[in-house]
């Protein structure tokens, strides 16, 4: 089920953020906020307001992490696939 996969990816993302190098503090803070937005969207229907915009923000966040944080990139990519499977 895509929503279960998204929840699992969200948990993995938070774990990876906690382990990440704090030298990227601003980018990690942005990713933490996006994770909170995804969680809110899962907990309360349409809490974010525009799920498509959330997908765009997740894609944009990837650009800063690809080389330095490949695990974060893989998790966010998996989340994007799950959101896509949900029709977002």
Q: Where are the domains of the chain?
A: 2-85
How many C-beta atoms surround the C-beta of residue 82 within 10 A? 21
**Going by C-beta distance under 8 Å and a sequence separation of 6 or more, which residues neighbour residue 82?**
2, 3, 5, 6, 9
What is this structure's pTM?
0.65
Per-residue pLDDT of 9-60, as tens digits, reads 889 888 988 888 777 788 888 888 888 888 887 787 654 556 667 777 777 7
The pair of three-digit structure tokens given for residue 14, joined into one six-digit string: 């938070």
Instruction: Decide if 13 contacts 75 (C-beta within 8 A).
Output: yes
DSSP string covering 3-52, please? HHHHHHHHHHHHHHHHHS-GGGHHHHHHHHHHHHHHHHHHHSTTSSS-HH
């Amino acid at each position: 089920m895509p929503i279960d996969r998204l929840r699992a990816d969200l948990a993995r993302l938070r774990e990876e953020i906690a382990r990440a190098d704090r030298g990227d503090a601003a980018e990690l803070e942005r990713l933490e906020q996006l994770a909170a937005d995804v969680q809110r969207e899962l907990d309360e229907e349409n809490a974010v307001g525009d799920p498509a915009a959330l997908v765009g923000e997740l894609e944009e966040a990837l650009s800063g992490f690809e080389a330095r944080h490949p695990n974060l990139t893989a998790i966010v990519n998996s989340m994007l696939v799950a959101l896509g499977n949900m029709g977002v």
